[in-house]
Amino acid sequence: MSIIDTALAEALEVLKRGGVILYPTDTVWGIGCDATNEAAVARVFEIKRRSEAKSLVLLACDLDMVAKHIKVIPPIAIDLVEVNDAPMTIIYPGAQYLAPNAVAEDGSVGIRIPLNEFCVKLVRKLRRPLVSTSANISGEPTPSCFVEISPEIVEAVDYVVPAALERESTGRASQIIKLGLRGEVEIIRP
């Protein structure tokens, strides 16, 4: 079994039990859990020491998964995803079937379809969106690689994906675009 297959199996087992993982995304290292599990999402906020009033980014494996968790996908979102070649998080209105604490107060949710093999496979096997928030204590700098992650974070999670899989991360945050149902587009982070 390859290192990626072993990591996928172990991470998936932890996620299905309601655990929290530390893993490399297509941007930076993330703290993650099943986005439909309210207790697991609460643990992510606790580990980060972050207010639940702040929203989280979720990962989906494809637009079909996004469509299951968003009431209406604005048509421009499909175009943006199809032409996208860099990490891009889209904030969609009308989240559904997610843990309430994974959704912003206005009912929106930020979702990214990752550009790395590990995350896509993990989310596909989980069959639910995965929380993906940066692996740092709230207010502290975002680590760009595994060695910069605080030992406090590493010790607080239930499973750490091997650092050997880090090569798929860019070390930079994604762009963030907020969409409305009437064609509104707001660039939050270019």
Q: What is the pLDDT of residues 22-68, one digit of tens each?
A: 999 999 999 999 999 999 999 999 999 998 878 899 999 999 999 99
The domain segmentation of the chain, as residue ranges, is 3-189
CATH topology of domain 3-189: DHBP synthase (3.90.870)
- Residue 169 confidence (pLDDT): 67
- Amino acid identity of residue 170, one-letter, is T
Q: What is the pLDDT of residues 90-107, one digit of tens each?
A: 999 999 999 999 999 999
- Residue 176 confidence (pLDDT): 87
Distance CA 167, CA 161 (A): 12
Q: Which residues contact 130 (CB under 8 A, 6 or more apart)?
A: 15, 32, 33, 34, 35, 58, 59, 119, 122, 123
- DSSP state at residue 153: H
CA dihedral 114, 109, 62, 170 (to 10 degrees): -10
Q: What is the pLDDT of residues 116-170, one digit of tens each?
A: 899 999 999 999 999 999 999 999 999 888 999 999 999 999 999 998 887 766 7
